[in-house]
Amino acid sequence: MTERIVRCGDVRLWSEALGDPAHPPLLLIAGGNQSSRAWPRDFVDRLTSHGLRVIRYDHRDTGRSTVRDFAAHPYTYTELTRDAVAVLDAHDIPAAHVVTMSMGTIMGQLLALDHPGRLLSLTLMLGGGLDVDFDGNIERLFKGEPSADGLPLPGPALLDAVELMSQPVDGAGAEIDRRVERSRIFSGGQVPFDADEFRRWEQDAADHAGTATEPTAHHMLPSHPRERAPELAQVRVPTQVVQALNDLIAPPPHGRHLAGLIPGARLVEIPGMGHALPGAVHAPLAEAITAHVLSPRPQGEQ
């Protein structure tokens, strides 16, 4: 394991690389308000066992990266995307396979538009198209309003998760417990859920950050640039979209819609998977990622 502090402007980003440096590099980009620990070490080890060198990092305002008051130091999705490029630079990686989830899926699409030469391949999971107003859709869910674009709103179980996280708790242990319960809700109930497994991962995230209090800065991000979605038609990076069939944030057919925005994008559906990474989905998810990353491509194609 190689830990490295990455400088991007006045921000410091914590990162680490795991696996054989001679193996193909794979950069993991987590979701909103998530540190590198959103990618469980169990899952990372599965990827490295498939012959990949995995790099994961803490978004700014999470984990061991720079944490500041967002109002005093605002930023956009474009700057978050530049952070990912800075991580590649710091690890001397000219181009990498990139896997994103949730909010990271927006960053993945922006990487494909603004930094295509840094991508060997792209896997987008647990997210939706650049043209989808997810912030507005969450508001519509709360207000009981219909979808504005014909795609499904997040599932009503999201309301239960928000209510859970809005309640005060007493102590770090209770905070970990409710984060585990939120993961149970997000997992969707269709695959086995191991509370002890998630508690171990949540404790690791808290220990890594030095606090059990969750970050919130990314809730204040300005809306992503939906007007850029038509540019995705020019993307030539080999792309795979993973649709979790029980995802309550981006339920089907969000994955199919996203795949339709990028020429040649491949859609993979994982039955029972929700908006979380329980151990029960690690094997099929790792197989889908490695099959895409390691598949032979015609000479001249990225």
Decide if 247 is catalytic.
Answer: yes
Distance between CA atoms of residues 255 and 274, nearest Å: 13
Contacts of 61 (CB under 8 A, 6+ apart): 33, 67, 68, 70, 215, 217, 218
Q: Is 91 a catalytic residue?
A: no
Residue type, 216: T
**102 flagged as catalytic:** yes
What is the distance between the alpha carbons of residues 68 and 200, in angstroms, rounded to a whole number? 27
Architecture of the domain whose range is 2-294: 3-Layer(aba) Sandwich (3.40)
| Per annotation, catalytic residue among 97, 257, 275, 292 | 275
**224 within 8 A of 114, measured Cβ to Cβ:** no
The span from the CA of 108 to the CA of 41, in Å, is 22
Backbone phi and psi for residue 55, each to the nearest 5 degrees, phi listed first: -115, 125
- Pick out the chain residues at pLDDT < 70: 297-302
What is the model's pLDDT at position 187? 97
Which of these, 297, 288, 226, lies nearest to 264 by C-alpha position? 297
Q: What is the pLDDT of residues 203-217, one digit of tens each?
A: 999 999 999 999 999
Catalytic residue among 36, 102, 183, 187: 102
Q: What share of the chain is helix, strand, coil (3-state, %, to 5)?
A: 45, 15, 40
Which residues are CB-neighbours of 50 under 8 A, at least 6 positions away? 286, 290, 294
Spatial separation of the C-alpha atoms in residues 180 and 146, rounded to whole Å: 30
Q: What span, in angstroms and rounded, lies between the C-alpha atoms of 150 and 134?
A: 13
| Rounded percentage of the chain residues whose pLDDT exceeds 90 | 97
| pLDDT 10s digits, 88-138 | 999 999 999 999 999 999 999 999 999 999 999 999 999 999 999 999 999
pTM confidence score: 0.96
What tokens were used for 50?
A: 């498939």
pLDDT at 272: 97
In the chain, what is the greatest distance between 2 CA atoms, to the nearest angstrom?
Answer: 58
Q: Quick check: 154 and 251 in contact, CB under 8 A?
A: yes
CA separation, residue 293 to residues 157, 179, 226 (Å) = 33, 32, 27
Of the residues 247, 254, 257, 292, which is catalytic? 247
Tell me the domain boundaries of the chain: 2-294
Predicted pLDDT of residue 298: 54
Q: What is the pLDDT of residues 18-29, one digit of tens each?
A: 999 999 999 999
